[in-house]
Structure 1
Amino acid sequence: MSTASADTPERKGRFAGRRVLALGTFDSFVKTAAVIGRMFESEGASLKILALSASEGQLTTRQLEANGVFESVDVVAAETLVKSRLFRDAHVVIAVVDGGRARELFLALATADLSREPARPIVVVASPGVVLADHLAGFMSRAPADVLCFNTEGDRDLYRAAAAELGLDSTNALVTGLLGLDRRPWSPPVKKAIVFFEQPVIPAIRIQRTHLLASLIDLATRFPDTDVLIKLRHARDERAHHSARFHLEDLARELFARSRRPANLQFTHEPAQQLVDRASLVATVSSTIAVEAMARGAPTRIISDFGVSEALGTTYFVGSGCFATLRELTPEMGSAVEPVWLVARSGAAARPEPMLDQVEALLAGQDRLEAALPLRPLTPAYGSSDWMAFALGRGGPAAVHAPHLVEKPRRGLGMVAAVARRLRQVRRPAPRG
């Protein structure tokens, strides 16, 4: 007999009766975790969305709603979550988290005694966007996942090559593309609008960010009948995975004090997908939204004023055919993206089926076993067993997932001691002749 109530329709699909936890950290991470979670939900699973604790004030309601997440999202530490029944009773955990939080989660899993459980969650890890930096470090932080999703074949090949060098099992690696992208077709808007998507630390230098804003002001001045919208990554009082050191609104006050603000220039926090709908041209330095806009068919340009470099993330877009300087931007620009690059190398082509199939197979295998599946080992992805024992013995889990925090007190004490020694030398009376 079904346990569904008269008011709750019975769920159907291959994941009917399964419980899924979607974990993120900052807003874009939670958004992607929720998108993946809803793939399971559409096939019968129940879904709960949580955030792993990363920093104070890491999420606001506005940020969540702007990313299509309207559920209440609790923030919880990884160790606390893993000990909870909510986690242990879940069938699938989707973790879209930064590298530090991934290590924290898998260390907590390794410490927890799940061997006595009749089952354990199958852990799926995916990226919230294009991978611009720390490729191998990020991949290795996530290596203990049961299912490790990659945006591109190139990313997976890099992981597999490194895994082979270490003797690490890489059969958990799947290419799924960017699973969090909006897939709706784009249509040209009635009114022309150029939308620039800002990134907090790309570029990171004040003079570069000032040039960026000054050029956008000039763009608005040159095309007074076109809306020039600057999509801010976060408000001044909000946090993101990378928070802006030189917020564009602060720089704008300085620039507008010298010259008048164009009436057609606006800062906005409107949801990114809605802004792509409004855009006749999308521009950015290296944001994931560029891949989304290209895939939807919106004309898109990658800003080349600061050159092409790994630090800017612009190397990711080499081959796209979409580079342009800020001076070259016009509201009449058409699509320039190279189709081969978009399909083969951008990550825009989403393939969730391999991930869903793999999770289904792992769950079925665990059901047949009637016991929790063994966890994938932390070594050698996190280092040798000797290093792990040494680090955990000296500093606990933080020495592995956040070693900089372990080092800070020692550095601080060293500085205090050095200052104290210098003061003693200054105060010591000079020897008498």
Structure 2
Amino acid sequence: MTSSQPSQGQEHEQGRFAGRRILALGTFDSFVKTAAAIGRRFEDEGASLRIAAVSTATGQLSPRQLRAGGVSESIPIVSTEQIVASRLFRDAHVAIAVVDGGRARELFLALAAADLSRERSRPIVIVASPGVVLADHLAGFMSRAPADLLCFNTERDLALYRAAAAEIGVDDTNGLVTGLLGLPTAPRAAPAGAPLVTFFEQPIIPARRMQRLHILGELTALARRHPDAQVLIKLRHARDETVHHGARFHLEDLAREAFARGGRPKNLNFTHEPASELLDRTSLAVSVSSTVAVEAMACGVPTRIVSDFGVSEALGTSFFVGSGCLAPLASLAPDLPAVVDASWLAAHSGATPDVEGLLTRCLALVEGQDRLEAPLPLRPLVPAYGSADWLSFALGQGGAIAVHAPHLIERPRRGAGVVAAVARRLRQVKPFTPRG
């Protein structure tokens, strides 16, 4: 297996992790970006860094997605089983895994099944989040509970994990608050040039066609109200790219249909430019509930959270209650001021990342393993993954997939009547014409 090469000038001879090898693992583009960003904190402390992408059933990351994540070199894209069996993984002192819940369970199931008895050591496994946690909090936390160190964005998230862990007997001493480690910390300079409103799209938030058409119509109206400003729609992914959640109603497809009838304002465009580069010149950042909104707030970019569909957990807008940034699309203008509540940003967003605690605790584990001269014991899968009886039963029924992705072996059969009913409802959808 090949591995990525460290950038020129990136290897340091001094630092707490001098001579140590770090492996950064991620599934999707933002996940790889975050894993690499954390890995570079270790690199600053003298470690050498390798990056790999964990393959999924939906495909592999494109070069554009990797570049957007700050990874320009060629990296291996392999399964969790291949990673755990590889020297790339086993020779690493630290493995940083920024992966979805399914891949986390795959990783820890593969580790539990691996024969590490002949190894002098094993990687200390760190798990972190690529963004704000909007849904499946406890399910996600428990999927990652076997990690040696489990990073949380906020004290509230850590408290929820500890409460659930206490209920069922999970050792919660691996948890620590780090904030969103993938976020940049430097404030940005005031943008120059024409005003720019950037809407940061999410693939399935909102999920309904009507809701996404409404957003498109309101952004069209905004562009027409302010012809001297630019309005950009930052797409989360291209149609053929691998993502955690693929868009059911891709905005480019909806726009092609809409603008064929109503025309597209010249100052309204779509872009795949990296979010970090867009924020440098954005006058107003807009999103329903993207992590980019937190990044924008932290960098001092005026930000608004779309309130047109109300406040709900399903949309992730509930996360931003208290920020002071919720607003309807019709009220937007390029010159709106920054209004984010500073206390909310500091306490509830994870926008102030702090890697020091992670580095200190990780170093203690690495050095403890050195003294042991043998692999540290793995943290148990039980009871985070359920009872011992359940785990044994599930593995006996379908192997690891029965634990990490049971839906793949229990797909319900959809009758022709259901398909016909859906087709009838789709035929009733009315054409859409953008506002303005």
TM over 0.5: yes
For residues 413-424 of structure 1, what are the structure 2 equivalents within 5 Å? none
Q: Distance in 1 between matches of 2:359 and 2:331?
A: 43
The one-character-per-residue Cα deviations of 1:317-354 (angstroms, maximum 9, x if unpaired) are: 00000000000001110000000000011100101111
Secondary structure, aligned partner of 1:278: coil
1:44 pairs with one of 43, 46, 52? 46
Q: In percent, how many aligned pairs have the same letter?
A: 68
Q: Distance in 2 between matches of 1:138 and 1:314?
A: 19
Match of 1:343 in 2: 346
Shift of 1:179: 0.3
Report whether the alignment pairs 1:27 with 2:29.
yes
Match of 1:375 in 2: 378
Q: Distance in 2 between matches of 1:265 and 1:18?
A: 48
1:257 maps to a residue whose letter is A
1:160 maps to a residue whose letter is R
Secondary structure, aligned partner of 1:94: strand
Shift of 1:38: 0.6
For residues 205-216 of structure 1, what are the structure 2 equivalents within 5 Å? 205-216=208-219
Match of 2:395 in 1: 392
Report whether the alignment pairs 1:89 with 2:75.
no
Q: Distance in 1 between matches of 2:266 and 2:239?
A: 22
The one-character-per-residue Cα deviations of 1:242-301 (angstroms, maximum 9, x if unpaired) are: 110100010001111111211110100111011111111000000000000000101000
CA contact (8 A) 1:193 1:226 kept: yes
Q: Distance in 2 between matches of 1:171 and 1:404?
A: 31
2:57 maps to a residue whose letter is S
Report whether the alignment pairs 1:181 with 2:208.
no
2:204 pairs with one of 198, 201, 205? 201
Match of 1:357 in 2: 360
Q: Distance in 1 between matches of 2:14 and 2:38?
A: 18
Shift of 1:184: 2.6
1:354 maps to a residue whose letter is G
For residues 160-309 of structure 1, what are the structure 2 equivalents within 5 Å? 160-190=162-192, 191-309=194-312
What is the number of equivalent residue pairs in this alignment?
Answer: 407
Task: Find the structure with the greater CA-based Rg.
Answer: 1
Name whichever of 115-124 and 171-180 sits farther off: 115-124
Shift of 1:237: 1.6
Match of 1:144 in 2: 146
Q: Distance in 2 between matches of 1:55 and 1:187?
A: 41
Q: Distance in 1 between matches of 2:248 and 2:188?
A: 33
Shift of 1:188: 2.4
CA contact (8 A) 2:11 2:48 kept: no
1:398 maps to a residue whose letter is I
CA RMSD in angstroms, aligned pairs only = 1.5
1:399 maps to a residue whose letter is A
Name whichever of 62-71 and 263-272 sits farther off: 62-71
CA contact (8 A) 1:194 1:282 kept: yes
Match of 1:334 in 2: 337
CA contact (8 A) 1:115 1:374 kept: no
CA contact (8 A) 1:49 1:71 kept: no
Structure 1 gaps of 5+ residues are 1-6, 417-433
Report whether the alignment pairs 1:130 with 2:124.
no
1:202 maps to a residue whose letter is I
Report whether the alignment pairs 1:65 with 2:104.
no
The one-character-per-residue Cα deviations of 1:299-319 (angstroms, maximum 9, x if unpaired) are: 000000011101001111000
Q: Distance in 2 between matches of 1:397 and 1:161?
A: 27
Q: Distance in 2 between matches of 1:353 and 1:295?
A: 19
Name whichever of 203-212 and 7-16 sits farther off: 7-16
Dislocated runs of 4+, deviation >4 Å? 7-10
Secondary structure, aligned partner of 2:95: strand
2:196 maps to a residue whose letter is A
CA contact (8 A) 1:163 1:170 kept: yes
Match of 2:421 in 1: none
Q: Distance in 1 between matches of 2:239 and 2:81?
A: 30
Query: Could you tell me the TM-score, scaled by structure 2's length?
Result: 0.91
Q: Distance in 2 between matches of 1:22 and 1:107?
A: 19
Secondary structure, aligned partner of 2:125: strand
CA contact (8 A) 2:92 2:122 kept: yes
Secondary structure, aligned partner of 2:280: helix
The one-character-per-residue Cα deviations of 1:186-223 (angstroms, maximum 9, x if unpaired) are: 22222211010000000010000000101100000000
Query: Could you tell me the TM-score, scaled by structure 1's length?
Result: 0.92
Q: Distance in 2 between matches of 1:186 and 1:193?
A: 15
1:329 maps to a residue whose letter is L
CA contact (8 A) 2:284 2:302 kept: yes
Q: Distance in 1 between matches of 2:201 and 2:11?
A: 43
Name whichever of 282-291 and 73-82 sits farther off: 73-82
2:143 maps to a residue whose letter is S
Shift of 1:115: 3.2
CA contact (8 A) 1:229 1:265 kept: yes
Match of 1:321 in 2: 324
Name whichever of 148-157 and 109-118 sits farther off: 109-118
Structure 2 gaps of 5+ residues are 1-8, 417-436
2:145 maps to a residue whose letter is A
1:18 maps to a residue whose letter is R
Name whichever of 126-135 and 47-56 sits farther off: 47-56
2:85 maps to a residue whose letter is K
1:337 maps to a residue whose letter is V
Report whether the alignment pairs 1:79 with 2:86.
no
Secondary structure, aligned partner of 1:69: coil
Secondary structure, aligned partner of 1:21: strand
Secondary structure, aligned partner of 1:388: helix
2:364 maps to a residue whose letter is A
CA contact (8 A) 2:12 2:43 kept: no
Shift of 1:101: 0.1
Secondary structure, aligned partner of 1:241: coil
